[in-house]
């Protein structure tokens, strides 16, 4: 049903209102029986205001109001959102940029809202209505910035992460918004990891460096695990261990390791199955030194202990205690006038049984 002006040929021409059989209504200007400029209300509830070509919306500044309450303002070609425009969503989100056939495509920015608060901002490439390509996403609520590659709205490819609240930075490979592949993670104190990642964890081959440690080797779930070499400094002394690690701890190999950070005791020798075992040297907090055999982190077998006062015990040990025959060598006298005295002793699980000079 049409109500409006016509030309001499009886065609709809000029101002008028047309009610279509499907329930849609056009109100505006007609030209030679076709829509020219006006407002088309679709039966779905959607509305378009602007110019038309061949009865299709076509304008450099058209307006679409969709049934979901979102509003588009910008270029429209042959009935499609195509060109540059702005799309405002019901939840407050705003997209500004390029469209192709009704989808966000090309360069554009998007502001994400929760309630009345802007929580994220994206600026970059779009493909098939998704963040895809190169871009920057700023998360204002957690002060996180990502610059790099995207695919289907997730971090995917090379990128740089800045976690401003925790002063962390990551640069490397991303798959499905997780660190996967090669990358470098720098912490607020200047320490860093550089190497392979899997599912957001340090897993594979890499290097970890902090103020008193350098580890090069294999990682599993962000722990030293597998073959590697650790150089560490503790109380101004350097330590090196090379071999197999399990869950951050030396497991099999040879080197020097602090066995108690509380006391500063350290072992220089072999590790077997997570224990210092075999031949080596154990230095204690009081500067006493044990050299000899060790089994499962306990003195076992032949060994020599040198004490800070210069005395020396050489003999057998069992379960970390003197056991069996041994010789205690001491200095008898003062520092300038002394003699060396050797005392033969017999021990039973840490208890002195007999002795004679």
Q: Tokens 């055999």 — which residue?
A: 293
Contact 49, 38 (CB under 8 A): yes
Please identify every stretch of the chain with a pLDDT value under 70, giving residue numbers as ranges: 333, 335-338
- Give the tokens for residue 318: 């069992």
Buried b (16+ CB within 10 A) or exposed e, 280-295: bbbbbeeebbbbbbbb
| Residue 142, pLDDT score | 87
DSSP 8-state secondary structure symbol assigned to residue 91: T
Within 10 Å of residue 68's Cβ, how many Cβ atoms? 10
Q: Terminal CA-to-CA distance of the chain, rounded, Å?
A: 129
The set of residues, in sequence order, having a beta carbon less than 8 Å from that of 245 and lying 6+ positions away, is: 217, 218, 223, 224, 225, 226, 227, 228, 230, 251
Q: Tokens 């069996």 — which residue?
A: 324
| Residue 337, pLDDT score | 65
| Main-chain dihedrals φ then ψ at residue 322, nearest 5 degrees | -65, 135
Q: Which helix (H) or strand (E) holds 95?
A: strand 94-100
DSSP lists the bridge partners of residue 40 as 26, 48
- Whole-model pTM: value is 0.82
Give dist(CA 34, CA 43) in Å, integer.
Answer: 19
| Residue 35, pLDDT score | 98
Give dist(CA 190, CA 212) in Å, integer.
Answer: 12
| Residue 46, pLDDT score | 96
| Residue 336, pLDDT score | 66
DSSP 8-state secondary structure symbol assigned to residue 22: T
Buried b (16+ CB within 10 A) or exposed e, 149-169: bbbeeebbebbbbbbeeeeeb
């Amino acid at each position: 049903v049409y109500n409006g002006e016509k030309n001499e040929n009886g065609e709809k021409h000029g101002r008028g209102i047309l009610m279509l059989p499907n329930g849609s209504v056009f109100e505006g200007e007609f030209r030679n029986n076709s829509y020219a400029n006006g407002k088309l209300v679709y039966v779905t509830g959607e509305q378009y205001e602007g110019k038309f070509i061949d009865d299709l919306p076509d304008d450099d500044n058209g307006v679409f109001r969709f049934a979901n309450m979102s509003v588009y303002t910008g270029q429209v070609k042959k009935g499609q959102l195509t060109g540059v425009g702005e799309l405002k969503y019901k939840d407050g989100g705003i997209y500004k940029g390029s469209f192709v056939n009704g989808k966000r495509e090309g360069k554009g920015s998007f502001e994400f809202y929760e309630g009345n608060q802007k929580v994220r901002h994206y600026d970059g490439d779009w493909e098939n209505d998704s963040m895809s390509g190169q871009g920057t996403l700023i998360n204002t609520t957690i002060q996180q910035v990502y610059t790099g590659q995207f695919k289907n709205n997730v971090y995917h490819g090379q990128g740089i992460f800045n976690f401003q609240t925790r002063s962390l930075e990551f640069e490397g490979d991303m798959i499905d918004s997780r660190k996967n592949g090669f990358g470098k993670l720098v912490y607020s104190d200047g320490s860093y990891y550089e190497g392979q990642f899997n599912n957001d964890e340090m897993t594979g081959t890499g290097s970890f460096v902090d103020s008193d440690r350098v580890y090069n080797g294999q990682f599993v779930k962000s722990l030293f695990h597998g073959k590697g070499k650790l150089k560490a400094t503790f109380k101004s002394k350097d330590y090196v261990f090379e071999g197999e690690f399990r869950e951050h701890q030396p497991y099999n190999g040879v080197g020097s390791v602090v066995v108690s950070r509380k006391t500063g005791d350290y072992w220089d020798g072999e590790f077997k199955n997570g224990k210092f075992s075999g031949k080596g040297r154990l230095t204690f907090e009081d500067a006493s030194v044990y050299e000899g055999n060790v089994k499962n982190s306990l003195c076992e077998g032949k060994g020599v202990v040198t004490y800070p006062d210069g005395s020396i015990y050489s003999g057998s040990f069992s379960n970390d205690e003197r056991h069996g025959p041994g010789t205690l060598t001491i200095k008898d006298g003062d520092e300038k006038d002394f003699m060396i005295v050797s005392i033969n002793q017999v021990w039973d699980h840490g208890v002195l049984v007999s002795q004679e000079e």
